[in-house]
Amino acid sequence: TDIISLHGQTVKAIQSYAMSAMLCIIQNVKVRSGLQYICSIIAVKDRKQLKDKNVACLRYLREIFLCWSTEYLSKDLRIIENAIQQGLLDPVQKVRIEAKETYAAFYRTFPKEGNKIIDKINDYRMKSALNSICSKVDELKYRETEEKNLHKSKEIEAVSELPDSFSNILVLEQKNVRSSAAP
């Protein structure tokens, strides 16, 4: 909580150190109460909080999607959905931009729940933007799947070529043995 409060500072250097420290912590430690605290800061409807805290917490949430397992996160999906939705509806543009990036990471990890967020939003432009994000994420997933399949097929081809190579080596070795055994 002390690190997040540093984002309320006006000195950007302090904010960047706080961001680096929190990202390092998130990458190395899973703390469910920390996830819930981050979401609670974003979900506060009182806009007296500084925008920098909300932007930072959305960035932390995005990092959590990248580093933590889906099984671990699945227990707190409702809290996460509410936090992202609140960030998407924030009046501050900087917060909304970070919320869209966080939404993309969330949708990539939990597509069904990502669609639930879209259904809850009444703003047509925001829905359109989120649908566009979903399309881009789906396209990226498709490309990655195609690349993996291509890589696997190349591995299979390489493995299928190995027995022929081994059999050729064995044939050559047998010929060498026969020629050396002959008087």
Res. 56: pLDDT tops 80: yes
The model's confidence at residue 160, banded by pLDDT at 50, 70 and 90, is: low
Residue 1 confidence (pLDDT): 46
The model's confidence at residue 83, banded by pLDDT at 50, 70 and 90, is: very high
| Domain boundaries along the sequence of the chain | 2-181
pTM: 0.71
pLDDT digits (tens, 9 = 90+) for 18-41: 788 888 988 898 888 888 888 988
Res. 132: pLDDT tops 80: yes
DSSP string, the chain: -HHHHGGG-S-HHHHHHHHHHHHHHHHH---HHHHHHHHHHHH---TTS-HHHHHHHHHHHHHHHHHS-HHHHGGGHHHHHHHHHHHHT-SSHHHHHHHHHHHHHHHHH-HHHHHHHHHH---HHHHHHHHHHHHHHHHHHHHHHHHHHHHHHHHHHHHHHHHHHHHHHHHHHHHHHHHHH--
The model's confidence at residue 81, banded by pLDDT at 50, 70 and 90, is: very high
Average of per-residue pLDDT across 87-104: 92
Statement: 2-181 belongs to CATH 3.40.50.970: no
**CA–CA distance, 115 with 35 (Å, rounded to integer):** 21
Which residue reads 């990036």 in tokens?
Answer: 101
**CA–CA distance, 13 with 120 (Å, rounded to integer):** 37
Compute and round to an integer the Cα radius of gyration of the chain: 26
Q: Average pLDDT, whole number, for the chain?
A: 80
Residue 144 confidence (pLDDT): 81
Residue 107 confidence (pLDDT): 92
Res. 167: pLDDT tops 70: no
